[in-house]
Chains A and B, each alone.
Chain A
Amino acid sequence: MKGGRSMRITSLLLAVMLCVLGIGSAGIVHGAPAPKCKVQGGTLRYGLVRDPTTFDPHINDGVTSSSIQGNVYDGLVEFGPDGEVAPALAESWMQPTPSTYVFRLRHNVTFHDGTPFTAADVLYTFQRIQDPKTAATRQLDLKTSVRAIKAVDPYTVEIDLTQPTATFLQMLAAREMYIVSKAWGDRGGDFKRAMNGTGSYRLASYEPHVRYVLERYAKAWNTPCIDRIEMTPINNDQARMDALKSGQVDFTEYVIWQETEYFFTHPGFRVYRGRDLFDFVRLNPNRPPLDRPQVRQALNFAINRQTINIVAFGGQGLPMEGFLTKPDSWAYNPDTSKVWKYDPKRATALLADAGLKPQDLHLTFEADPGPETFDPAQVILTELRQLGVNVDFKIIDIPTLVKKRANGDFLLLMDGKSLPWNDPDAYFDFFYSAGTNYAAAVKFKNTQLDQLLERGRTTTNPALRKPMYAGVERILYQQAPWIFAVWRPQAEAGRSFVKGYVRLPGALGTYTPGHFNRLWIEK
């Protein structure tokens, strides 16, 4: 039958075409944004740990980049509740080649000032991030990985990468990659002191040190259930906990470990916990006596991570026996990821290798007074002194800390950080020689390490990547650029009538407050 055969051929051709198009495609055809609200409406009173220092959507301001910017802006993609990359302003995407992405943008999306969202805004965003004057956190990352970006049509963007990049989509979902309005930017919008995004909430009003109010955006593409978020910065930890206990706020971030037990045991509250941040001591590998790797290794063996965990975090954290991969990561390798122990004898022996006795060392150790870093710092200080090392401890404030991080002006500097995404490529920002989060500032450079990190980033097959990162960890063990201390417990807590809060897994826990649009209030 002629018609039937031509139909079969057509279907076959169609099928083949679909298959061909399907190859290399990582596109996910999207479903509905958020499930229908069980309960609509209400006001959420939220306790912030501090004021934001900037509203800039392209600068990482720590936790507030999620709790504030995260709710007002959207990226091309975002992290879903399961930690996987999910559609946001990009409805779907394809990879015609391993180093090309084509994003189909969502239609009928407007910014809070009414301007429609189109591909031009995506181009403008990338331009702004790559401009050195913006001082964007991802400036270097974007510049090195993106070769070209163009708007194929008002709702299609094509991005050409310099090479295939394993973590490109995760980078796009990061909290410093929100899409901004070209029209607003051209008009002179002040990105640092005002916000104009496409998110579920708009910034209705704010008074520094007092309150930040987000209101649901009527025309949001991702409609939230809760109408209004009133955020109060409460720096004092105890005060913030008391505010939740007494009902002044319904939900708070940064629940201190001393109080998690309270919220676990008292009815009417829920606690959400993870271990997504870690504490460590930045070492300056170019300043004596730390210019010798044995000395840096010795410091790592001189401290007792169990003690730090118990004393500084009530045992709720996880000692960092290796590097930045935790046992739940696919890249975790027991041979290389579990190397540090408390071994003062070994520490002394390593120092002897370098021709030194502990008493010969004169170290300056700086820390800021925030409890999450100050408490571990005190333990580390005591243990180094117990070894016999002379340590001059200095308390510095945050602006000084920030400056020292950036210009490498320190010998030992206590610090705490989170990983940008659930991928061992996180090592890149810290240890790649041009990495802005550590290496560049102290001029740490290891060519072999650089090569491994580059290859790890540009290889897409996890089976091939895993041994590369094992190699990375071996080098980190030899070089010991930091004292790796402990993964800290991180928790949020709220009244039980606030529902839908599901903490993102792995390193992404602190992204969770960036999605108030997934919550609802059921009283």
Chain B
Amino acid sequence: MTSYLARRIGIAALLLWLVATVIFFSIYLLPGDPAFIILGGLEAHPTDEALQAVRSQLGLDRPLVVQYASWLSHLTRGDLGRSLITGRPVRRDLSIRFLRTADLMVPSISIAAILGVTGGLLAARARGTILDPLLSALPLLGFSVPVFVVAPILVYLFSISLHLLPSSGYADWSDGAAQFASHLVLPVAALVAAPTATTMRMTRSSALEQLSLDYVRTARGKGLSSARVMRRHVLRNAVLPVLTVLGLQIGGMFAGSVITESVFNWPGMNLFLLQAISQRDYPVIQSVVLLASVVFVAVNLLVDVSYAVLDPRIKYS
């Protein structure tokens, strides 16, 4: 088991290094020049010597390989460099922005998990009843309607028309729990639809599959009530594929969160990246994409490993 784990982690680390290297070099292919932006704001027409001065000040005129080596060595020490535009250490700003994205993702995944699993189990139980077509159709709607459709509609309904909730922005915890929560509701609602739907579907089909298996019929035959059967046996076995699905949702949620942060002006990691791209702030771009990949890989790794742990039938080679 440990050797499996070690190998997986090793491969993941290697992949991430590959990813980091590709990111590093490809950023320099982006058209546009941070020196221009730093020097001139939006009305730039700086002289060549001024540009050159800024470039050497920022270390942008060193050979690419030298910059790469320097970046790697800083990275191993946990130093993500300084923003070319603001001069502030990237690590500090990135951790703040990461937490703000987490403020969105964590409630969304939790709600998706809880609602999805419960909903899926209910739907599986409801099979053959009148509710069945409704409960199998609902999730389909959930993951077919994109976030960028849900978000503007929510804003229109709850903010523009009913004035119940703020249409955008982020309120800090220190501004009051009510404020914090009210800003969170719409973005999370927009984000949560698709993963809830997928989880619900997956749970339902997984549960149904379990329900049709022999051991369930045996349990029922022995006289156990359906609820007990559900709880004891079906749930545990059905949860496995659901975990996989939840893990896979992270990828989709990244997409959702980029759009959600855009629409709601939520100062998270994604918006940080979009702004950094539009300012050619290389150190920030590199750090955010790297962090996003790390999270992505880590979550997938976690899912694989938990799969291996929870299901003794699965062989891990």
By a beta-carbon cutoff of 8 Å, the part of chain A in contact with chain B is 51-54, 56, 59-62, 65, 132-135, 137, 190, 192-193, 208-210, 232, 234-236, 238-239, 242-243, 246, 248, 397-400, 402-403, 405-406, 436-437, 440-441
Contacts and interface: CB of A to CB of B under 8 A. Distances in A.
A135 B167 contact: no
Q: How large is the interface on B (under 10, 10 to 19, 20 to 34, 35 or more residues)?
A: 35 or more
22 contacts: A53-B42, A53-B279, A54-B41, A59-B39, A59-B43, A135-B51, A192-B38, A208-B83, A208-B85, A239-B265, A242-B155, A242-B159, A243-B167, A246-B159, A246-B163, A397-B32, A397-B278, A399-B279, A402-B36, A403-B44, A406-B40, A440-B45
Interface in B36-87: 36-47, 49-51, 53, 83, 85-87
Contact of A399 (B32, B166, B262): B32
Nearest to B272: A209
Contacts of B264: 239
A242 to B, nearest CB: 4
Interface in B245-265: 262-265
Contacts of B44: 59, 135, 402-403, 405-406
Given A236-B265, A239-B265, A398 B42 contact: yes
B166 A61 contact: no
B41 A193 contact: no
A403 B32 contact: yes
B41 A56 contact: yes
Interface string B271-302: 11001011110000000000000000000000
Contacts of A400: 31-32
Contacts of A402: 32, 36-37, 40, 42-44
Given A243-B169, A246-B163, A246-B167, A53 B37 contact: yes
A243 B169 CA distance: 8
Contacts of A398: 42, 278
Nearest to B262: A236
Given A397-B278, A399-B280, A61 B37 contact: no
B87 to A, nearest CB: 5
B169 A60 contact: no
B168 A234 contact: yes
Contacts of B127: none
Contact of B50 (A54, A133, A403): A133
Contacts of A405: 44-45
Contacts of A242: 155, 159-160, 166-168
A239 B159 CA distance: 11
A209 B266 CA distance: 10
B254 to A, nearest CB: 20
B88 interface: yes
A441 B47 CA distance: 12
Given A59-B44, A402-B44, 20 more contacts: A52-B41, A53-B38, A59-B43, A135-B46, A137-B43, A208-B93, A234-B169, A236-B263, A239-B169, A242-B167, A243-B168, A246-B163, A399-B33, A399-B34, A402-B36, A402-B40, A405-B45, A406-B45, A437-B45, A440-B45
Nearest to B179: A248
B93 to A, nearest CB: 7
B267 interface: yes
B104 to A, nearest CB: 16
A356 to B, nearest CB: 31
Given A53-B85, A246-B166, A135 B43 contact: no
B41 A132 contact: no
Nearest to B41: A61
A148 to B, nearest CB: 23
A132 B37 contact: no
A515 B46 CA distance: 28
A132 B277 CA distance: 28
B50 A134 contact: yes
A135 B279 CA distance: 18
Contacts of A53: 37-38, 41-42, 85, 279
A121 to B, nearest CB: 23
Given A236-B168, A402-B42, A406-B44, A193 B87 contact: yes
B33 A235 contact: no
Contacts of B93: 208
Contacts of B279: 53, 399
B166 A208 contact: no
Contacts of B277: 397
A137 B39 CA distance: 10
B44 to A, nearest CB: 5
Contacts of A238: 155, 167-168
Contacts of B53: 133
A248 B264 CA distance: 14
A135 B47 contact: yes
Contacts of B166: 242-243, 246, 248
B267 A210 contact: yes
A235 B271 CA distance: 11
B45 A441 contact: yes
Contact of A62 (B42, B267, B271): B42
A243 B170 CA distance: 11
Nearest to A236: B265
Nearest to B87: A193
B76 to A, nearest CB: 27
Given A133-B49, A242-B160, A248-B166, A208 B42 contact: no
A338 to B, nearest CB: 29
B50 A135 contact: yes
Contacts of A239: 167-169, 264-265
A132 B47 CA distance: 7
Given A56-B41, A132-B50, A208-B93, A193 B86 contact: yes
Q: A-B pairs with the 6 shortest C-beta distances?
A: A61-B41, A399-B32, A135-B46, A239-B168, A242-B167, A60-B43
A236 B168 CA distance: 9
